[in-house]
Amino acid sequence: MGSIAMERTEEMTDTTERVDEDAIEARTSTPNRAGLRLLAGFMFVNVGLVLALSWSTYEMGQQLDTTNQVLNKQLAASGELSKKLDAALEQHTALESELSELRQHVSSQSEEDVIFLKIVVTKREIDRNLARKIAQHVHHYARAYGQDPDLVLAIIATESDFDPDAVSSVGALGLMQVMPQWKQVLGIRENLTEPETSIRYGLQILGFYRNMYKDLEMALTAYNRGPGPVDMALMRGKSPLNGYAPRVLQTYKELQSLRVGMKVG
């Protein structure tokens, strides 16, 4: 009887211990499972975020590729447009240059025609071919040496009356009556009776005297008399004028006021 009670007591004790162990195990395992579930949920969320981010990155990459393609097409179109604009600008510049040359040509021809007509009006019996040649050289060299064509015509009219073969009593030759000693001074090899030679070097001499005296009347007087007599008269306090300069200036004034009509083809 006593041994039976002791056995029951031991069984109850064992049972109680197993119940306690099961309770402890249950309490311990319950939080672990909850943590695993929480970890699993967290990992699922992270995986979802990674997948969503990856898809978003993919879409952004596609959009960027599309944008780059559009930009490249626009840049290519812009490059073509730029080339077309450059070509148009080159054509415009070339056209402007051609128009400028044409205007200069027309202006040059018009000025030369005016000179020609003034020669014909001044000396009506002059050969037209000679008048045209004189007009051509007067226009060219007057512009080259910065002289007024009307002044050049006035000198020619006074010096030689438009006769290229004129020779003065002191040996001056040609349209502008250039003295032979100037051939050595200026290195002239051509014939002074040639219209171009006479006009070209006559204007060089006139320019030399205009720079020397800074006065047109004195320069014209020196052109006719030479600088020696002019300087000597000035040193003596006398007028070097001999009537030549006033005649040239009068003709010059008449040529400036002359209005000629013309048609330029």
- What CATH architecture applies to the domain 101-257? Orthogonal Bundle (1.10)
Dihedrals phi, psi of 168, to nearest 5 degrees: -85, 175
7-47 tens-digit pLDDT: 555 555 555 555 455 554 545 555 556 666 666 665 665 66
The full set of domain ranges for the chain reads 101-257
User: By percentage, how much of the chain surpasses pLDDT 70?
Assistant: 69
Higher confidence at residue 50 or residue 81? 81
Residue 172, both tokens: 């001056």
Higher confidence at residue 241 or residue 39? 241
The angle at the Cα of 167, spanning 163 to 172, to the nearest 5 degrees, equals 115
Angle between helix 195-213 and 149-159 (nearest 10): 110
Report the distance separating Cα 215 and Cα 233, nearest Å. Answer: 16
Annotated active-site residue 254? The verdict is no
Q: Is the pLDDT of residue 242 over 70?
A: yes
Distances (CA, A) of 208 to 127, 169, 203, 214, 220: 31, 24, 8, 10, 11
Q: What is the mean pLDDT of the chain?
A: 81
- Report pLDDT for 87: 77
Taken in order 45, 46, 48, 49, the sign of the CA dihedral is positive
Q: Report how far Cα 108 is from the mean position of its chain's Cα atoms.
A: 24
- Report pLDDT for 101: 45
Strand partners, 173: 167, 178
Query: Is residue 95 very low, low, confident or very high in pLDDT (cuts 50, 70, 90)?
Result: very low
Minimum mean pLDDT among 6-10, 118-122, 237-241: which range? 6-10
Q: Mention every residue, 6+ apart, whose C-beta is less than 8 A from residue 116.
A: 131, 132, 135
Residues 155-175, mean pLDDT to the nearest whole number: 97
Enter the DSSP assignment of 168: -
Q: Is the pLDDT of residue 88 over 70?
A: no
Q: Is the pLDDT of residue 75 over 80?
A: no
- Report pLDDT for 69: 84
Q: Which of 17, 90, 159, 194 is catalytic?
A: 159
Higher confidence at residue 33 or residue 156? 156
Higher confidence at residue 235 or residue 46? 235
- Report pLDDT for 2: 53
Residue 156, both tokens: 């020619």
Enter the DSSP assignment of 190: S
Residues 105-121, mean pLDDT to the nearest whole number: 82
User: By percentage, how much of the chain surpasses pLDDT 90?
Assistant: 55
Query: Is residue 98 very low, low, confident or very high in pLDDT (cuts 50, 70, 90)?
Result: very low
